Structure 1
Amino acid sequence: MINWFRGLLVAGFLLASSEGMTETTYTILDFQDLDGWQQDDHSAALSTFRNTCADLDAPDWRSLCAAASEFQDAQKFFELFFRPVLVEDGKAPLFTGYFEPELDGSLSPDARYRFPIYKMPREAKSKSIWLSRREIETSDVMRGRGLEIVWVDDAVELFFLQIQGSGRVKLPDGRYVRVGYGGSNGHSYRSIGAEMVRRGIYNVHQVSAQVIKNWVRRNPKDGLELLRHNNSYVFFREVSKVPAHKGPLGAMNRSITTMRSVAVDPKFTPLGAPVWIEKDGENPLRRLMIAQDTGSAIKGAQRADVFFGTGDAAGRAAGRLKDPGRMVVLLPIQRAYAMLPESVL
């Protein structure tokens, strides 16, 4: 029966999207259609899959998770229980990268460690829009309330930590404090790069995260004022249950894995599902990853954000990634074929 379906499905089929505005195409492929499939380290992907599969509630996923704990041949596991499904929504595929920042900090302030990472104050939780970044940083509203988690030594790194939403702080004694997103003040994000272009500091093609960081460090007073152009402010919570050697928590509340976890749009790709990545560009990537995270900018069936790990090197690598390609989600066999409209059956 499966061989008969393959020939029928290779042309794909259409289903209306939940928004009713565009059509989403589902094409069931064979594993031989996946470029580089045979050469990947399937055991690494299976290990990452096991990290979150126990949190999947549907009966078919639970059965696969039980099987995953017993299978020794990882490639055979994926080929036996899954079918590759190409999901397209008419938008151009785009791969980007993200990472976990690592900052230097201290549990107490001094001349070096002057910039606090704050927990969310009670009154901010009860309002849709609270004080602006400038008001939070220049007033006494946060002081003396025990809201500081840790102090760091670099204001612009703290700013980018707020953009990423999670990270870890290395203390002078070598220990780490990991922090995760705890809420925001409700203001819309304003681009610092766009503001630098508007002020004539740089041209559009010159702006990058590293360029912004370097300029703020060279111009500390004006740099702080520039960062306050963005009214949005992010608060954090300490994530003490995640050991320092493991990755940060993803959307499934489990540690994600460097170069094996990917952020997706859950409207199209189920969280916890294996995802085959065919990223083109300067450094092509062919790898089986697991959809374990989401992101506010990750929207669309062929939109994915690859997790590069922790620290500056990971940040530089992630920042260079902006490539086309193709993403194929692996779904349990019955779930994949259940997508077929009755007219095809």
Structure 2
Amino acid sequence: MPQATVGDTSLTRSYIPKVSQTPGISPTIAHFYKPIEDRCIHEGRVVDQLYYTSHHIDRCFFNIRLNCLYEINELIVPHFILYFYSQVTLQRDESGFILIFFMIQNEFITLSLAQFGQILIISFNGQAVFTNEWDLASLAYSQETEGPYHTDLPTPEEIHQFLQFQRVDSNRTIKSKTVILLPNQVLTKELRRDLKQWEELIRENVFGLGGHRDHLPACLAHILYFILAEQQYNLAYFFVKRIESARGSPKAHLPYGMFLTSLFRYVNPHLDNGIYNAVDRVMRPLALKQTLKPQSDRGKARHSVSSTSTHHNYGSSSYHGDDDEDDGASRASTPSHTTYLNSLEPLNYQRYDIPTSSQQDDDLLFER
């Protein structure tokens, strides 16, 4: 992708609601939200049909249920992203299964990893591993050796052979200094030509913009391996571990903006006070979201809609629901939402049934 697209993410600061600036808000609650509302959101990229029908992307991704990466096309819910990332935590039940906890409008939501995957319509079975590292050897250091997510990983040598990396140059220049690459550090340009579009699509909607785009992250190489091998990949596991990692990193972008819209849809019917039912508080226009297009189409019409779309105004009149929430939270006996979540006993959660279209107010939800 052209490097200019990296700047799109920084523009998302313009529509993240500034709850901490609400008049009369308690300093404790303001301090709670401020670290999140100062972040950027990685929204994700809408993928052009001509792009994913080339190089067998649609067929190979569909075979292992990764078609969600090129089918996603959602508006963003800024308030929900703020509240979600402000206190989402991961825990394990007695059998080692991951549980996702978060609180919206004083209601605690608990989801199993399978439920989380169902809601976001992403795969939740198969190979499970997460690392932010570059070196392929880091996969072995990050795998779970027991429990429900135990994974037998391919070795770096097997990944090398299967993906047919072609070392271009063993030297790399970083800040005017020559660095010798290790055998398991792979550059993006060492990918086969037919896999470069795969890598670009996965990076855009799983890993995000920015960073060192010239090298291939270990987990991205791992995903490519399993697409070619036609074996299941646990995308839900990667998502929640990356969400946890991003929340714990003060300057990290908040990932999966478009995907989290599906979670918003699930949560919204369960809220009593209708905080998200006002159109001017829900969805921002697709002003910044861009389309991943074939090389020949780039530079012609990169934006999904006109970049002149206006952002919603988050003035003080928009925060009446938040004021009620903040007052209630400040009166709670616990110091923070996260502390309260950490004190919960293991839950017996019910099976999740995805709401039908008749249960969702899509006309209101997606009105621009």
TM-score bin, normalised by smaller chain = under 0.3
Q: Which of 1 and 2 has greater Rg?
A: 1
Instruction: Give the number of the structure whose residues are more often helix, by fraction.
Output: 2
TM-score scaled by structure 1?
Answer: 0.26
- TM-score, reference length from structure 2: 0.24
Q: Determine which structure has the larger strand proportion and give its number.
A: 1
